[in-house]
Amino acid sequence: MAEKQSTRGSGARKGAQKYQNTFAYKHNPKSKKTQTILALPVDGLCRRCTDQINWRKQYRKYKPLTVAKKCVSCELKKVKKAYHVLCDDCAGAKGVCAKCAEKAEIVDDSAAAQQDSAAAEQEIECKLAGMRERERRTCLRKLERGDITAADIPDRASDDSGSDFSDSGDGDSGDESE
């Protein structure tokens, strides 16, 4: 037993670390708390602070605030986001990061992501509007599974040129061949 432990202060270490990271952390998919934490926007921060907050969310280290904190600039209880030290008004007025209070380029991922997702959603709706119901449902199923992307959806209205979403049969429906 004595050979596994090192003498205190000697710095000599024997053996491998006790716990190896053999698999990545995975959230509980049914947790409502996790869903609400992941849904919280990360805005008004510099790139470094944004990455730190996203890491905390990814590994379930993020602890949301229960009551508002005091802003270090205006001394009012207006800070409603966890890990921030400045309220949104003071951070915006000074042009600094709301977490580290340093003058750096503010990253606004949430607004850009919302605009991109809204534009993609609108594009998909336009493409699906011209399809027949059966083709539309098939396309939506494939999108949901991840078999295709929004770019793979045909642009045209439904015609009989043989798309990926319609029957490409040879015309033998069984009605005429009796």
Q: What is the band of 84 on the pLDDT scale with cuts at 50, 70, 90?
A: very high
User: For residue 44, which of 76, 83, 11, 73 has the smallest C-alpha distance?
Assistant: 83
Residue given tokens 């340093």 in the structure block: 102
Mean pLDDT computed over 52-74:
92
Q: How confident is the model at residue 23 (pLDDT cuts 50, 70, 90)?
A: confident
- Give the DSSP letter string of 99-163: TT----PEE-HHHHHHHHHHHHHHHHHHHHHTS-HHHHHHHHHHHHHTSS-GGGS--SPP-SS--
Tokens standing for residue 163: 């798309």
Tell me what the mean pLDDT of segment 122-138 comes to: 87
How far is it, in rounded angstroms, from Cα 145 to Cα 69?
43
The answer to whether residue 114 scores a pLDDT higher than 70 is no
Q: CB of 107 within 8 A of CB of 97?
A: no
Contact at 8 Å (CB) between 165 and 138? yes
Kind plus residue range of the DSSP H or E element containing 46: strand 45-46
Q: How far apart are CA 150 and CA 84, in angstroms?
A: 37
- The answer, as to whether pTM is greater than 0.75, is no
- Does pLDDT of 53 surpass 90? yes
pLDDT of residue 5: 57
DSSP letters, 88-101, are HHHHHHHT--TTT-
Asked if 124 and 151 touch (Cβ cutoff 8 Å), the reply is no
**What pLDDT shows up at residue 50?**
93
pLDDT at position 171 over 50: no
- Tokens, residue 107: 């990253």
Helical residues (DSSP H) of 16-94, grouped into ranges: 32-39, 47-58, 88-94
Helix (H, G, I), strand (E, B) or coil at 107: strand
